[in-house]
Chains A and B, each alone.
Chain A
Amino acid sequence: MIELKNFKKSFGELEVLKGIDLSIQKGEIISIIGASGSGKSTLLRLINALEQADDGVMTLNGKTYEMHTLKEKDKRAIRKQASMVFQNYNLFKHKTALENVMEGLIVDGMAKKEAVVIATELLTDVGLLDKLSSYPSQLSGGQQQRVGIARAMALKPEIILFDEPTSALDPELVGEVLETIKQLATHETTLIVVTHEMKFAREISDRIVFMDAGAISAEGSTEEIFNHSNPRLKAFLGL
């Protein structure tokens, strides 16, 4: 349902992605793990077209995109199908929690009234009904990230991309965000989660992808990954 072929990206001399191939089924939950600098986040950002790939082809819902020559229209089409949840939440600081979730719906042409209903529902789902009119600065990191997840869900995307959703959180707030993601995992949405939370990855993933130095070094079911013979992976997992 989403297929990546030969995703490449360099920043100057530094080759961050060396040709990634990955194919993901509808509703599948994929965790991408790997050391810092292995290219995990860059891969998500290429999928979301926040960075322009140097090369690569993506097939999304039967439509094929040449990733190094994307037009603005294509980028928007991709982003509406693949929402992003950011490491630093990136909630719109001048808007309330409710307005943050409504924003994507309104620019998509939905009437404000309808958007309020949907956004309220989503914020209720993530347990923030009492925070509708709070500004991001009035919310804890965990609450902000849950708003971020609701905002991504609002667009009813095929895929939600999580870019280290708990890395910026205080340890005691990680749980509530992971819980929210787990709830999502029971829906039909495809989830691609870049994470350092191994226990979490093991619990929710249908498949785990291990990236090392800009390439996929191992992939498989959680069982396969945690019993893999790949020495780099073993070292990374501390096995």
Chain B
Amino acid sequence: MNGFDFKYLLEVFPIIIRALPVTIVISIFSMAFGLILGTAVTFLRRSSLVFLNKSFNLYVSFFRGTPLMVQLFIFFFGLPQIIPVLSKVNAFYASILVLSINASAYISEVIKATIDAVDRGQLEAALSLGMTKFQAMERVVLPQAFKIALLPLGNTFISLIQGTAITFMIGLKDIMGVSKVSAASSYRFLEAYLAVGIIYWILTLIVTRLINYLSYKLSKGGVI
């Protein structure tokens, strides 16, 4: 069993790749929900109602301040103790939910900073054209903020993809889960984990390419 079995490495790739849709679906859904939730949370944090902004600052502080794995365990193993109905949520949905909430905290930090980075004159010009505050945000400030936010949000997405690796701990058969099973049954730990590492790496490279392409496209608008 010693030494490096190159043949096994090649054999285990297709096995792990079969689970790739799980990882990709969880990543994309969590990012999408995270963006919506993170944007909403940002506005709640900017609310003039002290109760709201304090609560959601606490929300961001907690979800950035505790490990993703702890959050996943609290939700999946802990909360059903006091809310029994949660025990019916399967690992797939639980993962998306927890990853979305976790991502929303990071995304909110990014969006908050980029809204502040958009020149105040842009908001004033929008208002002075008779826009409501909502219209000014939607039509002028947010589109510019998202352009500035694109690169940091790309980093959040990459962290999120890699964060999905811990969902195997609640029994999900994502690429990490499958590679762990393969490793355990073949005792070829190095090959199996190397294979899954390479797959994560390639995923990250693809996403990086995509983000760079988007940011190049958007830079033509002259904002970034």
Contact = CB atoms under 8 A, between A and B. Distances in A.
A107 B130 CA distance: 8
Nearest to A45: B124
B55 interface: no
B144 A94 contact: yes
B129 A86 contact: no
A83 B131 CA distance: 12
B188 interface: no
Interface stretch (A124-132, A133-141, A217-225): A133-141
A138 B135 contact: no
B133 interface: yes
B121 interface: yes
A229 to B, nearest CB: 38
Interface in B117-159: 119, 121-122, 124-133, 135, 139-140, 143-144, 147
Contacts of A90: 119, 121-122, 124-125
Q: Most A CB atoms within 10 A — which of B127, B147, B220?
A: B127
B84 interface: no
B222 A103 contact: no
A93 interface: yes
Given A94-B143, A94-B147, A135-B221, A104 B129 contact: yes
B40 interface: no
A80 B127 CA distance: 10
B70 interface: no
B134 to A, nearest CB: 10
B147 A107 contact: no
B129 A107 contact: yes
Given A107-B135, A135-B221, A93 B129 contact: no
B223 A93 contact: yes
Contact of B126 (A48, A80, A92, A138): A92
Interface string B96-136: 00000000000000000000000101101111111111010
A111 interface: no
Contacts of A155: 129-130
Contacts of A98: none
Contacts of A92: 122, 125-126, 140
A94 B223 contact: yes
Interface string A135-157: 11110000000000001000100
Contact of A50 (B122, B124, B133): B124
Interface in A94-130: 94, 103-104, 107-108
A86 B127 contact: no
Given A76-B132, A104-B130, A107-B135, A86 B221 contact: no
B8 to A, nearest CB: 52
A107 B222 CA distance: 23
Contacts of B122: 90, 92-93
Contacts of A79: 127-130
A151 B222 contact: no
Given A86-B124, A103-B139, A136-B222, A151 B129 contact: yes
A22 to B, nearest CB: 20
A84 interface: yes
B109 to A, nearest CB: 22
Nearest to B131: A107
Nearest to A50: B124
Interface in A65-91: 72, 75-76, 79-80, 83-84, 86, 88, 90-91
Nearest to B144: A94
B163 to A, nearest CB: 31
9 contacts: A76-B132, A79-B128, A83-B128, A93-B122, A94-B143, A103-B139, A103-B140, A107-B131, A155-B129
Closest 10 CB pairs of A and B: A137-B222, A104-B129, A90-B125, A90-B121, A135-B222, A84-B128, A80-B130, A94-B221, A79-B130, A93-B223
Given A92-B122, A93-B221, A107-B131, 9 more contacts: A50-B128, A79-B128, A83-B128, A92-B140, A93-B144, A94-B140, A94-B147, A135-B220, A136-B222
Interface of A: 48, 50, 72, 75-76, 79-80, 83-84, 86, 88, 90-94, 103-104, 107-108, 135-138, 151, 155
